[in-house]
């Protein structure tokens, strides 16, 4: 292929129980450090050339650490960091950080917040500062929060948003409604992209099948089309349910029905557009 393939969603961490308490006993296999050399070993055989590193802790220390690793590792094409969007210092912090080229977006873990948080004036004021700096906002939510996400996006029609993990549908329960309808409604907003990531970890870690997750991937493709869907691994979280290479192969299998240009969009062009990448 004649283009670099991009993984639009992965994490790094120095593991500690205090900072990563969400890694429960069922995910014990990822209770260790995951750093750029570990990822480099996995992306190479999977023919992935570049990645977007996404925050896993809600601290400025985390953002600075990710930016340092991006500067030291050319395969990290961009960083989605965290900043205190609700803080009055947010505008000055963003301007300072945006001057560091690898910062391409910002994320706050909305899945841990009540729906009322989406309406907070200070939170929305923070998002208002992103567009002028060409920064994307990553939406991390659970499926039942989609209506709140739709209202959030409607407040910011000129801001680029990327939905993480297809909004974590209830795959284990075998349900797709109202998730599928709400996803399609969100996709009506042309300023929203969606990551085809974090899917197998919403199914049973040990017994999921391609046939089980296929309808959810098809719903995402139908909603966003091939021009707003991004490949993402959610490494190393994905490792509790699959290997890096196997997830890449799963998405490649799904993309077989797409044209060559559409596959390029999924694995390259859409990430470049969503995150203003120079790759």
Task: Express as a percent the part of the chain with pLDDT over 90.
Answer: 96
Nearest-10 Cα torsion for 154, 278, 5, 2? 130
Predicted pLDDT at 167? 98
CA distance 279 to 274: 13
For residues 138 and 106, is the Cβ–Cβ distance under 8 A? yes
Predicted pLDDT at 225? 98
Predicted pLDDT at 218? 98
CA distance 22 to 61: 19
Predicted pLDDT at 100? 67
For residues 11 and 54, is the Cβ–Cβ distance under 8 A? yes
Half-sphere exposure of 34 (CA within 13 A, CB side): 19
Mean pLDDT, the chain, whole residue set: 97
SS (H, E, C) the chain: CCCCCEEEEECCECCCCCCCCCCCHHHHHHCCCECHHHHHHHHCCCCCCEEEEECCCCCHHHHHHHHHHHHHCCCEEEEEECCCCCCCCHHHHHHHHHCCCCEEEEEECHHHCCHHHHHCHHHHHHHHCCHHHCCEEEECCCHHHHHHHHHHHHCCCCCCEEEHHHHCCCCCCCCCCCHHHHHHHHHCCCCEEEEECCCHHHCCCCCCCHHHHHHHHHHHHHHHCCCCEEECCCECHHHHCCCHHHHHHHHHHHHHHCCHHHHHHHHHHHHHHHHCCCC
Structure tokens at 150: 């739709």
Structure tokens at 116: 């009322």
For residues 176 and 216, is the Cβ–Cβ distance under 8 A? yes
Residue numbers in the chain where pLDDT is lower than 70 = 100
pLDDT tens for 166-203 read 999 999 999 999 999 999 999 999 999 999 999 999 99
CA distance 197 to 164: 7
């Amino acid at each position: 292929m004649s283009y670099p393939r991009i993984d639009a969603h992965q994490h790094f961490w120095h593991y500690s129980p205090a900072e990563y308490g969400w890694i429960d006993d069922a995910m014990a296999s990822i209770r260790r450090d995951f750093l750029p050399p570990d990822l480099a070993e996995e992306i190479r055989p999977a023919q992935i050339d570049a990645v977007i590193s996404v925050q896993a802790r809600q601290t400025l220390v985390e953002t600075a650490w990710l930016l340092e690793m991006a500067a030291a590792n050319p395969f990290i094409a961009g960083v989605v960091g965290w900043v205190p969007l609700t803080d009055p210092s947010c505008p000055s912090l963003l301007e300072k950080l945006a001057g560091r080229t690898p910062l391409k977006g910002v994320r706050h873990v909305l899945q841990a917040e009540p729906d009322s948080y989406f309406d907070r004036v200070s939170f929305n004021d923070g998002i208002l500062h992103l567009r002028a700096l060409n920064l994307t906002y990553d939406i991390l939510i659970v499926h039942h929060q989609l209506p709140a996400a739709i209202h959030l996006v409607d407040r910011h029609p000129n801001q680029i948003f990327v939905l993480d993990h297809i909004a974590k549908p209830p795959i284990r329960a075998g349900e797709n409604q109202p998730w599928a309808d709400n996803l399609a409604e969100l996709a009506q907003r042309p300023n929203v992209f969606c990551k085809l990531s974090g899917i197998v970890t919403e199914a049973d870690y040990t017994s999921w099948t391609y046939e089980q997750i296929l309808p959810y991937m098809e719903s995402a493709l139908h909603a966003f089309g091939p021009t707003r869907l991004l490949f993402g691994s959610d490494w190393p979280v994905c490792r509790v349910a699959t290997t890096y290479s196997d997830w890449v192969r799963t998405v490649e299998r799904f993309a077989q029905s797409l044209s060559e240009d559409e596959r390029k969009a999924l694995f390259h062009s859409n990430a470049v557009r969503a995150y203003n990448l120079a790759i």
